[in-house]
């Protein structure tokens, strides 16, 4: 559900490996996939064409699936989830690969906790043009698991399918922690690059902006720990060191959307830290600053 960079890449790899995958898309992307198939462009892994491809703009036509990979933009989460309710059977698993940590609370309230598996995607992709997913770099990692920490028949079946498809897949025995590990870095990366209108390189090199980047992540860690997530107290230091290891040209989708006048996921990134911090009684002034600074751009130029 959502055949953009993330859904298109993982769904495409699974379909190419022989899984029965139905893609839900719309507009020019849908038309191109129907006419030409789905192409994954990758310098590292070689180009992959899935043709013919099962694609529709009506998810209800897909029948009751074993698994729904949920990969729409965060602001569409609730509306799309309610649209999918009729095809979610008693054994259907729902795996969100969206950003942040608020998504599964929304999905769980609609589908029930039993349906959910937690997941984190590590991949650099975007729709290059209709019907074409461009993958940057070698990474196509997916970490997922059941919220009770146990292995299940469905999680092991998905792991086998992902590995067969060439995905670096792993099962997590503490998926909540796994989600917060990615969220901590994403909050820093997105908040710094979007508010400063730059890539990670300049943000980490200037002492003042580096401190702000660090503080964004420290707030996320403090909130997560206050909510019972098993993050080390100094985990933000680890993520700052990680920020030093990535290419200086690394950017965030939040900054990319800001530059292109698209709607922003800031309410669920920096805003998520603020909302959860309020719930946990943890001050979050730096993330509040990011959310406030970007508030006038949150709906995008076209929506405004």
List pLDDT tens digits, range 139-185: 889 999 999 999 999 999 999 999 999 999 999 999 999 999 999 99
Average pLDDT estimate for 189-203: 96
How buried is residue 303: exposed, middle or buried, by Cβ count under 10 Å (0-12/13-18/19+)?
A: exposed
Third-level CATH fold of 177-303: 1.10.1040
Closest CA to 266 of 276, 280, 253, 250: 253
Kindly report the average pLDDT of the chain as a whole number. Answer: 95
What pLDDT was estimated at residue 301?
A: 84
Whether the predicted pLDDT of 107 surpasses 50:
yes
Q: What angle do CA 237, 284, 77 make, to 5 degrees?
A: 95
- What residue spans in the chain does CATH classification 3.40.50.720 cover? 5-173
How buried is residue 279: exposed, middle or buried, by Cβ count under 10 Å (0-12/13-18/19+)?
A: exposed
> Is 250 in contact with 200 (CB distance < 8 Å)?
yes
- What residue spans in the chain does CATH classification 1.10.1040.10 cover? 177-303
Cβ contacts of residue 3 below 8 Å, gap of 6+? Answer: 11, 23, 24, 25, 29, 33, 38, 55, 71
* Architecture of the domain delimited by 5-173: 3-Layer(aba) Sandwich (3.40)
What pLDDT was estimated at residue 303?
A: 55
The HSE-up count of residue 282 (CA atoms within 13 Å, CB side) is 22
Identify which has the larger pLDDT, 37 or 256.
37
Task: Assign 136 a pLDDT band (cuts: 50, 70, 90).
Answer: confident
pLDDT in tens, 274-304: 999 999 999 999 999 999 999 999 999 865 4
What pLDDT was estimated at residue 302?
A: 65
Whether the predicted pLDDT of 126 surpasses 50:
yes
pLDDT in tens, 239-284: 999 999 988 988 898 998 999 999 999 999 999 999 999 999 999 9
């Amino acid at each position: 559900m959502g055949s953009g960079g993330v859904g298109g890449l993982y769904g495409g790899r699974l379909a190419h490996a022989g899984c029965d995958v139905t893609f839900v898309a719309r507009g020019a992307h849908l038309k191109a996939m129907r006419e030409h198939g789905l192409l994954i462009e990758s310098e590292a892994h070689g180009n992959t064409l899935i043709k013919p491809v099962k694609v529709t703009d009506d998810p209800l036509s897909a029948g009751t699936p074993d698994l729904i990979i949920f990969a729409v933009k965060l602001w569409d989460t609730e509306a799309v989830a309610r649209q999918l309710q009729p095809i979610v059977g008693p054994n259907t698993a729902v795996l969100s690969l969206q950003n942040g940590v608020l998504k599964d609370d929304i999905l769980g309230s609609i589908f029930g906790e039993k349906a959910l598996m937690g997941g984190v995607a590590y991949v650099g992709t975007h729709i290059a043009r209709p019907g074409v997913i461009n993958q940057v770099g070698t990474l196509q990692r997916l970490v997922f698991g059941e919220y009770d920490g146990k292995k299940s028949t469905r999680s092991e079946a998905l792991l086998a399918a992902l590995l067969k498809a060439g995905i670096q897949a792993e099962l997590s025995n503490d998926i909540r922690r796994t989600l917060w590990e990615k969220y901590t870095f994403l909050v820093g990366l997105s908040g710094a690059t979007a508010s400063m209108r730059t890539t990670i390189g300049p943000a980490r090199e200037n002492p003042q902006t580096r401190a702000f980047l660090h503080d964004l992540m420290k707030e996320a860690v403090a909130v997560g720990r206050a909510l019972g997530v098993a993050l080390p107290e100094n985990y933000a230091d680890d993520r700052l060191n990680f920020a030093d290891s990535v290419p200086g040209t690394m950017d965030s989708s939040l900054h990319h959307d800001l530059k292109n006048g698209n709607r922003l996921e800031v309410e669920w990134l920096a805003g998520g830290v603020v909302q959860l911090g309020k719930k946990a009684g943890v001050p979050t002034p730096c993330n509040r600053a990011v959310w406030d600074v970007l508030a006038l751009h949150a709906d995008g130029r076209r929506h405004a």
